[in-house]
Structure 1
Amino acid sequence: MTIIFITGANKGLGHETARRLIELGHIVLLGARDQALGEEAATALGARYVPIDVTEDASVKAAAANVARHEGRIDVLINNAGVHGPAGGDLEDLTGADALAVFGVNVIGVVRTTSAFLPLLRRSDDPVIINVSSGMGSLALTHDPDRPESRVIAPLYTASKAALTMMTTQYAKGLKDIRVNAADPGYTATDLNGHSGFQTVTEGTDAIVALATEGPGAASGRFVSREGEIAWS
């Protein structure tokens, strides 16, 4: 049976991904920073809650040790935890602290979590890493006037997701024994955007669920949306 660990899964895309994967019969470990919210979500879904704050080394290492003690391995790591940061307004107001906060979760948190969970992934017969990125990090999509991505000003979020998609390609090249891909949920109504997205949270998890369940032999190093593969640009 497939064991799947999801960060930031007490709400939004992570929560819906967990719900759908449990419905498909998989074992889901629900990672969340807030214990009360994490335990509540896990109980409601039938998952096991694992405390994790992706911005803290000790917390991430403790989460990996927790899983090592209880399950002994994971088959799929879904790096879903993310923050938006400042949007619109005067870019002159951006601070280094703003940048550190966004990149600390969206990029460094992924590196920290991936490194800690690699030994558990390597105990799987078909290890998979899925990084939840965004079309907002695509140079092509954010310059296409026909795309909604081109009409949003969110400098730190977009830059962090561009970095994450590049990290995904590098992991895919460097981790030959693990399938590593990125998912673009699309413009989905979640807390991250004040529920302004035009997609439902279920539609927003289509690509994530597809990557988590596609099975051995699928390709690594892809950027996938619910409509299909996205060019790396």
Structure 2
Amino acid sequence: MNRSFLSQYGAEIGTLAIEHLWLTGAAMLFAAAIAIPAGIWLTRSPRWAKPVIGITNVLQTIPSLAMFGFLLPLPWLGERAARIAIIALTAYALLPILRNTYAGIRSIDPTLIEVARAIGLTNRQRLFKIELPLAASFIFAGLRTATVTCIGIATIAAAVGAGGLGELIFRGVASVDNRLVLAGAVPAALLALIADGALGLLEKRFKVPAPESARP
């Protein structure tokens, strides 16, 4: 991409990158708000773990274009392409967050849980003081995977008119212009790398050791 190309498309690339971030950010907020509480609930009701995780597995296997196509005819959703994109991206982000939240809490040494009960911690205290801090690395790993996945799949959202960097990719493919393809693909890849790195830093910042009183 030369200077004249960047001067011609630079502003559009910036606008589409912001749209891309908005779609991905909204989807990740919804996915985390659903999957983290659901993962916690599954640790309390493990008999539901296989069917619930199985359903999210099925959602993950649906091709992205097919997912957008399924949502288009639905009332309310089909009226705005951004809604379709956010719902589809949320569905794709559920599995890694849900599975990692469940696996992280389930992997905690049962001895720590017994000690927490013995010293009189309530279920809520046990969750926030022991289980979530110890499972934080698992949960953040799920968030990182889901975020990178969403940023990649969000490029397909342009197929239903939801905007984002995928618009440049589709236009480049249609006009056989590799510069337009790269103008959409390279910023999307950079966004994924930046998001992954930022969540990695947050993982290190919020990883809290087990409380002294809860250690055997």
Shared fold (TM-score, shorter chain, > 0.5): no
Bigger radius of gyration: 2
More helix by share: 2
Superposition TM-score, scaled by structure 1 size: 0.27
Considering Cα pairs closer than 8 Å and 6+ residues apart, tell me whether 1 or 2 has the greater RCO.
Answer: 2
Superposition TM-score, scaled by structure 2 size: 0.28
More strand by share: 1
